[in-house]
Structures are given as C-alpha cells and as structure tokens.
Amino acid sequence: MKRLSGADAQAEIDRIVQALRVYEPEKIILYGSFARGDHHAGSDLDLIIVKETDRSFTDRIGDVLRLCRSKIPVEPLVYRPSEIATMLERGNDFLETALRDGVVIYEQQRA
C-alpha cells in the first residue's frame, strides 16, 4: 500500500467527514499518525466520534464503518458525551492524550 500524500490524505479525510454527517455526530476528532502528520503506508485513520445515542458501543462502530467506506483503514471509537466525561473523571490516559493531541475535523453547528 502506498502512502497517501498530504493532499490525498486530506481529501480522503474530508470525504469521510462528509459521509459521516448523516450520522449526525456532535464532534469528530482525528488522532494518531494522521493528526500528527507522520502517517505511513500501513497507517489507519484513528477517529473519536462524539454522539448522543442509545446504540451499543459495537453497534456504533459498525454504523460508522458502514458509512465510511474509505481507501484508508478507519478505526473509529464512538462515545457518548457522558462516557467521555466519565472516562476523563477516571483519568483515562488514552482519551486525555487523544483529546489533547487530536484535531477536531468536524463540529456540529449549534442553532
């Protein structure tokens, strides 16, 4: 697999964001190698998606993967706002780092 150029990677990220708009996320955060700009041919696209939903964690991931259909492997984590708050209260290092170093690539506009 060849490494996507910066422009190609950004175009694919933009396409994924467009595809996920119908999912009505509150926020999409890109983290990992694509956010840092040091991705390589085997890199996947790491996303944290914030959405209020009653769906199970695994169902949420399946919903997102069905919408993405990307040239780049996508690794989505879909959390409810309350789950994020609880994880941060408990000092979840992974989430703290992902939110600190990640890039917000979509945020729902409030009316």
Whether the pLDDT of residue 80 is over 90: the answer is yes
What's the pLDDT at 8? 81
What's the pLDDT at 3? 43
Mean pLDDT across the stretch 88-111?
93
Whether the pLDDT of residue 37 is over 90: the answer is no
pLDDT-based confidence at residue 2 (cuts at 50, 70, 90):
very low
pLDDT-based confidence at residue 94 (cuts at 50, 70, 90):
very high
Q: From CA 86, how far away is CA 105, in angstroms rounded?
A: 23
Mean pLDDT across the stretch 69-75?
88
Structural domains present in the chain: 6-107 (3.30.460.10)
